[in-house]
Amino acid sequence: MVEILGDRTITGADEDTLAGQVLGILHEALEDPGLCEEAKGRLRRLMDQHEGHPERALYEHLRCVRSLRAG
């Protein structure tokens, strides 16, 4: 399976794996009009930093969002 997220193409993502499920979540987040462009940019950078480990990118994104809301 090939997953395309913006300008990223990720191969081997299976919907039944954690990575595949997380890629689906990330794709939906990036397509969501309710997520501001700043947050989308941050999420894309995290995906680049954690290439091959989308669950880490999602985790870091959620931590950042939580700290911004608490702050």
* Percent of the chain whose pLDDT exceeds 90: 59
Structural domain count of the chain: 1
Nearest alpha carbon to residue 24 among 60, 45, 55: 55
Model-level pTM? Answer: 0.74
Q: Kindly provide the b/e burial profile for residues 16-45, where b requires at least 16 CB atoms within 10 angstroms of the residue's own CB.
A: eeebbbbbeebbebbeeeeeeeebeebbbe
- Residue 1 pLDDT level (bands cut at 50, 70, 90): very low
- Give, as one character, the DSSP assignment of residue 9: E
User: Once rounded to an integer, what is the mean pLDDT over residues 5-34?
Assistant: 78
User: 46 is in which domain, residue-wise?
Assistant: 2-70
